[in-house]
Amino acid sequence: MRKVLVLEDESSIRSFIVINLRRAGYDVIEAETGEAALERLKEHPDTRVALLDIMLPGIDGFEVCRRIRATNARIGIIMLTARSQEMDKVTGLMTGADDYVTKPFSPAELTARVDALYRRSGGEDLAHSGEIRQPPFLMNTRNRTLEKNGERIKLTQVEYSIMRFFMENPGKALSREEILDRVWGQDYFGDLKIVDVNIRRLRLKIEDNVQTPNYITTVWGYGYKWGF
59 versus 194: smaller Cβ distance to Ca ion: 59
Smaller CB separation from Ca ion, 40 or 201: 40
Q: How far is the CB of 5 from Ca ion (least distance, A)?
A: 15
Q: Which residue number, 54 or 180, has a Cβ lying nearer to Ca ion? A: 54
Closest CB 103 distance from Ca ion, rounded Å: 9
Nearer to Ca ion, 55 or 194 (CB): 55
Give the span between the Cα atoms of 147 and 170, in whole angstroms: 17
Check: CB of residue 217 under 8 Å from CB of residue 224: yes
Q: List residues near Ca ion by CB under 5 A.
A: 9, 53, 55
Q: How far is the CB of 88 from Ca ion (least distance, A)?
A: 12
Least gap, CB of 57 to Ca ion (angstroms): 8
Closest to 125 in 3D by CA, of 63, 173, 79, 168? 168
Least gap, CB of 13 to Ca ion (angstroms): 8
Please say whether the beta carbons of 79 and 88 come within 8 A: yes
Select the residue whose beta carbon is closest to Ca ion and give its number.
55
Cβ proximity to Ca ion: between 9 and 124 the closer is 9
DSSP helix/strand/coil, 40:
helix
DSSP string covering 86-148, please? Answer: HHHHHHHHHTT-SEEEEES--HHHHHHHHHHHHHHTT-S-HHHH-EEEETTEEEETTTTEEEE
